[in-house]
Amino acid sequence: MREALFIKQNNERWKKYENQKATSPDELAESFISITDDLAYSKTFYPKSNTTKYLNGLASTFHQSIYKNKKEKSNRFITFWQLELPMVFYKYRRTILYSFLFFLVFFLMGWISARNDNTFVRLIMGNEYVNMTNDNIAKGDPMGVYKEMDPGFMFLMIASNNVRVMLFTFVSGIIFSVGSIYQLMYNGIMLGSFQYYFFSKGLGWQSVLTIWIHGTLEISTIILAGAAGMIMGNSFLFPKTYNRWVSLRRGAKDGLKIAIGIVPIIITAAVFESFVTRHTEMPLWLSISILGGSLLFIIWYVKIYPARLNRSLNPNNTIIDETGF
């Protein structure tokens, strides 16, 4: 069937779905099934057309209405992390990937800049920090900075600071996504130059096995916060079939879910940094286990589990992602 005929035959019904709210759960479910059937047909024969984009938006609206009208359960707190947040990760999986790639590029920029300019590390990290680290290296304890503060006070300071950085990274995405990308650039360049500094001192792998005990989770949350900000900014820049302000509200809501959802990960990273990283004498196997376990958790929770969950909830893959790229 030609696309024009497909639109002509169904346009009146689509407009009815768009303008009239269902009066009962059965009617809502029936409308949702009908529109997803149309979406599946359109994706098959007109995959890149505006019709498919329109139907995807309409189907997404029905999907959200069904979810919103479900009876709230007492375990809502658990289902947010068990179902809702992973589905947001899946929906915006490409945006998360772009955030990771941005951070990686900026990390390499910091590494290369520090390698080619002896003053770059001091410019980025500050003279006081570099001098203190040099003193610790001379004393034979290069990671001594993690031992200088009371662990309880250190935890409160680090956790509050990292939550603040995460929220700022997310909120700055309102500046057409550029604000979040700038935060990724700032943190990526800082980490790249910082990591090169230790490798230049012959302490590279020792620093990795120490710093990344908490850094694996901490850096992951920065990348996810950057993605959350980009989701919000992109929703305004690329509204697709929605009104621009409606699209912004939807993007801001989904971005906020990520920002809220990663707070426990930020707190866990702060616990590691305050109470675990300071034990630089820990066995190699324990350091690798903590670091590797953190990395596997992030990969599983952000990538693998959401994909499996989507397959189980949407076997026909009728609801596709809504990224701005």
The pLDDT score that the predictor gives to residue 194 is 93
Tell me the C-alpha distance between 169 and 206, whole Å. Answer: 30
Phi, psi of 65 (to 5 degrees): -65, -40
What is the full DSSP assignment across 180-233? HHHHHHHHHHHHHHHHHHHHHTT-HHHHHHHHHHHHHHHHHHHHHHHHHHHHHH
Weakest-pLDDT range from 84-88, 139-143, 170-174, 189-193: 139-143
Average per-residue pLDDT in the chain? 88
* Confidence check: pLDDT of 259 > 60: yes
Q: What's the pLDDT band for 18 if we cut at 50, 70, 90?
A: confident
> Residues near 303 by Cβ (< 8 Å), separated by ≥ 6?
89, 93
Tell me the C-alpha distance between 219 and 107, whole Å. Answer: 11
Q: Mean pLDDT highest for which of 12-21, 37-46, 244-253, 293-302?
A: 293-302
Predicted model pTM: 0.77
What angle in degrees, to the nearest 10, is found between the helix axes of 151-171 and 178-200? 140
Tell me the C-alpha distance between 263 and 167, whole Å. Answer: 10
Q: What's the pLDDT band for 318 if we cut at 50, 70, 90?
A: low
* Confidence check: pLDDT of 70 > 60: no
Tell me the C-alpha distance between 229 and 259, whole Å. Answer: 9
The pLDDT score that the predictor gives to residue 155 is 95
> Residues near 22 by Cβ (< 8 Å), separated by ≥ 6?
28, 31, 65
> Residues near 307 by Cβ (< 8 Å), separated by ≥ 6?
90, 93
pLDDT per residue as tens digits for the range 26-65? 677 777 777 887 888 888 788 888 888 888 888 877 776 6
Q: What's the pLDDT band for 265 if we cut at 50, 70, 90?
A: very high
The pLDDT score that the predictor gives to residue 23 is 57
- Cβ(62)–Cβ(31) below 8 Å: yes
The average pLDDT across 222-231 equals 97
pLDDT per residue as tens digits for the range 93-127? 999 999 999 999 999 999 999 999 989 999 998 99
The larger pLDDT score, comparing residue 74 to residue 125, is at 125
pLDDT per residue as tens digits for the range 266-300? 999 999 999 999 888 899 999 999 999 999 999 99
Proportion of the chain above pLDDT 90, given as a percent? 60
The pLDDT score that the predictor gives to residue 325 is 45
Q: From its phi and psi, is residue 202 left (phi > 0), alpha (psi between -120 and 50) or beta?
A: left
> In the structure encoding, which two tokens stand for residue 274, read together?
């305050």
* Confidence check: pLDDT of 320 > 60: no
Q: What's the pLDDT band for 315 if we cut at 50, 70, 90?
A: low
